[in-house]
Amino acid sequence: MAVPVQLEPTNLTPGPPAVKPVAGRSLWRIAWSRLRKDKVALASAAFVILVVLVAIFAPVLTSIVGVNPDEPNYGLLDPNTALPAGSFGGMSSHHPFGVEPLSGRDVFARVVYGARISLLVASLATLLSVVLGTVMGLISGYVGGWIGGLIARLMDLLLAFPLLLFAIAIVAVIPDSAFGLNGNTLRLFILVFIIGFFSWPYIGRIVRGQVLSLKEKDFVAAARGTGAGSIRIMMQELLPNLVAPILVYTTLLIPTNILFEAALSYLGVGVKPPTSSWGDMLSTAAGGLFRVDPTFMVVPGVAIFLTVLAFNLLGDALRDAFDPRGGG
């Protein structure tokens, strides 16, 4: 009994277990094997990747099709109404999504370029809020005490803040140049900052809650017992356990931020024209043009809808895949 029984390659079990390479079945492998079986997740992921590629290669894509987002084509408009000539907003092999009323700019090019703004603002803002939320949540949960309490109350405060009103107000008062930036660069910077700064508490709360329960586990005590400092424990013991929830909430936060950027652009506090954004296109269409040219509203609307839906479905699928109680 004193000598522990050790399974050797020479044991009685048939088959090749000893030959098989002993690689750990990590959380990631388990999650991946579940994701692979989830068709909705795969489709969403494919769509997300497609949208990202479209945004990155927008100039290439538009030049292949032979269109330009800012070039007016008055010849494609009905001279009497200034609406696109032809059905479905002037759709043609040359202009697959039709052209804009009044100016005749190509809708496909504007949607493709709009994806850049939407994804850029949403992903940078999400990155900012994930970094802030993770750091603040870790400190708030692990350090605790009055510092932790203060951070927790700050999160409550930010979540209760009338963000949309604040954003409209701040964008309205910013000058054309500040912080060495100007024009749309400054606008983008401020959009990212506002959206990111006000959405970190969503991540922060989740991280804090997880840390509060994780730090009572004995593996943290064991790390402290070997002399690990607070930063080491937070980064090496706690953070690996937080990656899954952070990833899931990141994929759920991106669509929220896409919608938020669209809402701000819709309200006229996003990027300035002529730079196109989905929210701005919707806003122009909603001014009354949708009655006479619905295609002009449907195209950016569908773009927002499908992108947000894909991110949300992907986030849900990730959450299921990382759920330890899940099967597979």
Where on the chain is the footprint of other proteins (CB under 8 A)?
1-7, 22-27, 217-219, 221-229, 232, 236-237, 240-241, 243
Q: Which is nearer to other proteins, 170 or 243 (CB)?
A: 243
Supply the minimum distance, in Å, between the C-beta of residue 94 and other proteins: 54
Tokens, residue 299? 């195209």
Q: Which is nearer to other proteins, 27 or 132 (CB)?
A: 27
Rounded CA-CA distance 72/256 in Å is: 33
Supply the minimum distance, in Å, between the C-beta of residue 15 and other proteins: 16
Rounded CA-CA distance 147/139 in Å is: 8
Supply the minimum distance, in Å, between the C-beta of residue 312 and other proteins: 26
307 touches 237 (CB < 8 A): no
Supply the minimum distance, in Å, between the C-beta of residue 152 and other proteins: 12
Tokens, residue 158? 């930010």
Q: Which is nearer to other proteins, 237 or 280 (CB)?
A: 237
Supply the minimum distance, in Å, between the C-beta of residue 230 and other proteins: 9
Q: Which is nearer to other proteins, 165 or 218 (CB)?
A: 218
**Contacts of range 270-276, beta carbons closer than 8 Å, 24 or more positions apart:** 270/117, 270/187, 270/191, 271/117, 271/184, 271/187, 271/188, 271/191, 272/183, 272/184, 272/187, 274/69, 274/70, 275/113, 275/117, 275/184, 276/69, 276/110, 276/111, 276/113, 276/114, 276/117
54 touches 115 (CB < 8 A): yes
- Cα separation values, 225 from 150, 214, 220, Å: 28, 16, 8
Q: What is the largest CA-CA distance in the chain?
A: 97
Q: From 35, 31, 2, 99, select the one nearest 322 (Cα to Cα).
A: 31
Supply the minimum distance, in Å, between the C-beta of residue 275 and other proteins: 43
Q: Which is nearer to other proteins, 186 or 247 (CB)?
A: 247
Supply the minimum distance, in Å, between the C-beta of residue 134 and other proteins: 15
Q: Which is nearer to other proteins, 3 or 160 (CB)?
A: 3
Q: Which is nearer to other proteins, 169 or 243 (CB)?
A: 243
Residue 139 has a CB neighbour count (10 Å cut-off) of 19
